[in-house]
Structure formats: structure tokens, C-alpha cells
Structure 1
């Protein structure tokens, strides 16, 4: 992950961890931290921490964060520096690993997320007994092309996954600690955290949050992210639906491919009877190739099933059994006030 430094954990473990990935946000970070401090002080959330991940910024973000983290303040600021840009998913994973609070808040560093909405996220998490609460930026203050793409993307994602959120890619979220500790993000899978959490059995909700126009810098959004987003959607569908049933997907593909090869072969057999031979038609080679490919896909699915079966047996041996006495009660989303 190429981490340079991680500042030390405060002596008293907080109940609320605010995780903020940042890339080239030197101008916005001081303003954002001041806003967070005001909100936490107003609502008496004293047992809190702010974790900022500098994702290999090329501007003065690192220097600004070092100055801010060196100042004695509440909540304490912890900084993680990446030597080079790793992407938002890796930054979030580093922040989740460093978080010590019972509840974790994630938000962007560009001042478009309003820290004043943190209490709303926490209240929704607690009153509705959710494990994850995702923000719904409403009304959204982004360029038209970004809003149009997001509209269709959210509906396509909801159709294929069954997780019906209006703004699945919103970075402003609240989680219970057990959720973030179970997540494994890479690439651009941070967009699909609600889906991954839902598939893992956690209860996912949504609440409207204020959204502001970008004040400093430029947006990291670009049209090149559009195909990546759909490729990642297929990845998530495989991880959530077929990770433990590989034969279902590879076997289906193999059966379809082999069936087409057989149909072509039957067609050539009819031609052979009618025309007294088929010679070296390309269709003959295609038929044989598709049947072989179908068998290979099916074999890959079988091998995947064997691997999953072995892993499941090993997991059962490691887990053994658990008793009710070993289970810990779920902490409340209400942060403790002095």
C-alpha cells in the first residue's frame, strides 16, 4: 500500500471515527476540519477522532496535514500518508484499518459534503437500527453530465443488485465498526460498499444530505470512469452472487457455448447427408472449437467449486463453535457525551 506514516492512536479509544480520503485538497482541508470541529463541539461529540488519508497528493496537502495534526485540538487528527496515489478504495481501507471508533463516518475532502449532516446520519443509523446509512445528495450540486450519468447508473445498479438507493456512490456514509472491518475494497469497489455490505447480511439505509458546489480545485470525475464503473458492477455481481457458486456462472457459459457448437455440428451433419460431405468448411472448425471451449468453461467452474469447498472446510475447522457468552452486544450509534 506504500504507506509512509500513521500517527499514533489516542490513549482513549473514541466512539466516533471520521475517515476522509484526500487527494490534492490543500485548500479545502483547513476549512473542512474547522467545520467538523464546530459540529462535534455543538453536539458534544467529544469522544471522536478524524483520520485523513493523503492519497499521494502532488500539491501541499501533505504539508498542510502535518501542520494541522501537530496542533493540539479536539477531535485529535490522525494522518496517513501514501507515497503515491493508490485510489479511493485503498485510502478507505487504510482509514478503516486505523479507525478505533464504534461508529465510522466517511466523507469527501472537497467541501461538497456538509459536516452538519453528521448528526442526521448518526440518528438514522440508531433509530432505524441500520448497519450502514448512505447519504443521498439532495439537491445535488454537480455538473449536468455527472448528474445524468449518476441517475442512470444508480437505476441500472439497483436493477441488477436489488439494492435500491438513489445515490449509491455518495461518499458520505455512516457505518458500524463491524461493517468496515469486514469490507475488502480494491480498484473502484468503494462505489459499491452498500451492495457489498447488504450481501454480507448488514442492513443498509439511506438519508438525504445537503450537498454543496466544489469551492476549490477541480473535480476528479471524468468520462473515462464510465466504462470502469460498469466493469466494476459486473465484478460486484460476480463477488456477491457467484463467488461461492462458480459453477453456476462458468457452467452456464460453458453450456451455452458448447450447445451452439453442437447446433453448428448438427447443421453440418445435415449438409453432409444432403451434399455428400462438408469438406474443410470454417464452420466445422468453429463447431469443434466451441465445444472444446464449453468443456473448458465447465471445467473451470468445477475447479472453482472444489476450491470453495476446501476453503469452507478449513473455515469450519478454524471457527469450531461459538457460545452466546462469547458474543458482544451491538454498540449504539449514539456517541457518549461527558
Structure 2
């Protein structure tokens, strides 16, 4: 029997919480009453988490463990979890017990009651130091403005998905932060519910300035993938057209000054600016055209995502007898 619910937990140096996490998740899932599995992905832990996870899997046949050879990041861990999850609904949560397993039923209810494909937790009363909460608020504000998806907490790892919403996701880098944006871009419905959040009891946060920088670059990647993947010329073409137009106007003005008023233009800053803008515009438009050529020449997935399909069940073969009788009668 395949499970209905899969709980996927990326793990990196969280040995002190794993036993309690497994116990609490198991209690909640048994109370839900649906077949389940729990999948841990050890992202190259160095604190003994591997041994603890293996012991848990040895005792509980509903637990699976994937061990990475080294630390590849949370996106890679989630990608592997999504590939191996067999449940119709997939719950993801962090292993540090800041996410409360008792909130799983609330995520499941929101998924069904509001007919959503992804429900993200919202750490409304976040139990983290100011050094994490302020950058997080700024991050969420910027992502909302740039993507148009109105969620309060994009980076919350506590989420519920329908299987079809993640089957086509390709996660790498820091893209796990933008899963709602990627899913929304494929036409799935996203929402969020407030969830409890607890202070960290074990280990230390992996958050840092370097991750913020990586997250910013991946935000640009997400915008490119969701808006311009199939039409790169629309991204580079507009900038190129504006640059080329301003450069052309500058050079046209200088041409008039030279031919009509016989003024020297070779050493004027406007001349160099005009040449620079024309060259920049030409390069941007050429980049967009190259992107279109590459996009058109490679075999990729189609640019659409089918929600549901009712196939033809039977080929209808019309009878030819009425037509034959009518032909005979007219003869």
C-alpha cells in the first residue's frame, strides 16, 4: 500500500532533536489516521546524525533515510525527497524542532478546505533573534514585490504540497526559498496558514550573510525562469531597444550639429555616450536573439502544465447503412 502522506525532513547536524522529532511526528500522523511514511535526508551531517537516523529507521519501518556523501544544501535534499516521496501529500519541515509537528493537521486541512496545491506555514510570531527576523522581513517584502505572489513567509520550511505540484520542480542552489514562486509560475494554487514557531533548543542556525547574497542571485534566477524562460528576447530586448534608441538620438543630434552648424563633435562626452549606448543596445538585443535560438533548438518540456485530462475512451465509428439506404432511395 502506498502512503497517503509523506513527511520529508532535511537534516544537517541536528542529532539532538532527531529522536524527539521522530516521536512527535509519528504521534501526529497516527492521530491523522492516514497511511504515512517519514523520509529523512541527511545532508552530510558531521555530528553523529547519521547514526541516530539509521537507528530510528532500524526501529521504525515507516522511516526511510537518504545519506549524502557531503553537504550539498537544502535544495538538493528537498529535490531528493520529492523524487522519492510516494505520498499523495508531501509535508516538509526542518529538523530543529522550531517547526511544531502538531501543526501538520492544520496544513492538511488548509490544503483540502481551500483547494490549494501548496500551503506554506507563516511563522507569525517568530522565535528568532533580531538578526534573523529583520533580514527575513526585508527578504519577504522584496520577493512579494518582484514576483507578485502575496505570501508573508516564503522561506518557511514547514509546507504541505500535493504531489503533482512538485513532480516537475528542479531545485538547486538556494531555490528552495522560492518553491512557492516556482509552483505558482506553473499555475498551481498557493496559500499559507499561521503556524507555531519555537526557539532553537539544539545546535546553531546555518543562516548567514553569504546565504543572503546567494538568495538574491537565485531570486533573479527565479524571475528569469518563471517569466522569461520561453521568451528571453523580451527580457534583453526591451533594455537593448531603450539603450539603442537613446544612443541613436544622441548620435543623430551630434550629426545635425556637425552637418548643419559645423561644430566639432569628436571630443564631446555626448559622442562617446551615444556610441556606448548603441553598442550596449546591440549587444543586449543580440543576447536575446541568441537566447531565443538556443531555446528553440533544444528539446525541453512544453511551456504549459496540464491540470487534468479526460482521455478519449472509445473511438466512434459512424454506421454507413443510413447513407447507403438514402442513396438507394434517391436512385
Question: Could you state the TM-score of these two structures normalised by the residue count of structure 2?
Answer: 0.86
Paired with 1:241 and 1:255, the residues of 2 have a C-alpha distance of 19
Q: Secondary structure at the match of 1:135?
A: strand
Paired with 1:295 and 1:233, the residues of 2 have a C-alpha distance of 26
User: Residue 291 of structure 1 is aligned with which of 272, 275, 278?
Assistant: 278
Paired with 1:306 and 1:112, the residues of 2 have a C-alpha distance of 47
Instruction: Establish whether residue 262 from structure 1 lines up as the match of residue 248 from structure 2.
Output: yes
The residue number in structure 1 matching 2:3 is 14
The residue number in structure 2 matching 1:171 is 157
Instruction: Establish whether residue 36 from structure 1 lines up as the match of residue 25 from structure 2.
Output: yes
The residue number in structure 2 matching 1:27 is 16
Paired with 1:58 and 1:264, the residues of 2 have a C-alpha distance of 61
Paired with 2:100 and 2:208, the residues of 1 have a C-alpha distance of 23
Paired with 2:108 and 2:312, the residues of 1 have a C-alpha distance of 28
Which structure has more RCO (C-alpha within 8 Å, separation ≥ 6)? Answer: 1
For residues 126-165 of structure 1, what are the alpha-carbon distances to aligned partners after superposition, in whole Å with 9 as ceiling and x for unaligned? Answer: 1111110000113111111221222222122112211101
User: Residue 71 of structure 2 is aligned with which of 78, 82, 85?
Assistant: 85
Instruction: Establish whether residue 70 from structure 1 lines up as the match of residue 58 from structure 2.
Output: yes
Per mean C-alpha deviation after superposition, the further-off stretch among 148-157 and 200-209 is: 148-157
Q: CA separation of 1:325/1:126 partners in 2, compared to 1, >3 Å: closer, same or farther?
A: farther
- Report how far residue 81 of structure 1 moved: 0.8
- Report how far residue 230 of structure 1 moved: 2.4
Q: CA separation of 1:314/1:196 partners in 2, compared to 1, >3 Å: closer, same or farther?
A: closer
- Counting matched residue pairs gives 308
RMSD of the alignment, in Å? Answer: 2.3
Structure 2 unaligned spans of 5+: 314-331
Q: CA separation of 1:132/1:314 partners in 2, compared to 1, >3 Å: closer, same or farther?
A: closer
Larger radius of gyration: 2
Q: CA separation of 1:313/1:107 partners in 2, compared to 1, >3 Å: closer, same or farther?
A: closer
Structure 1 unaligned spans of 5+: 1-11, 327-338
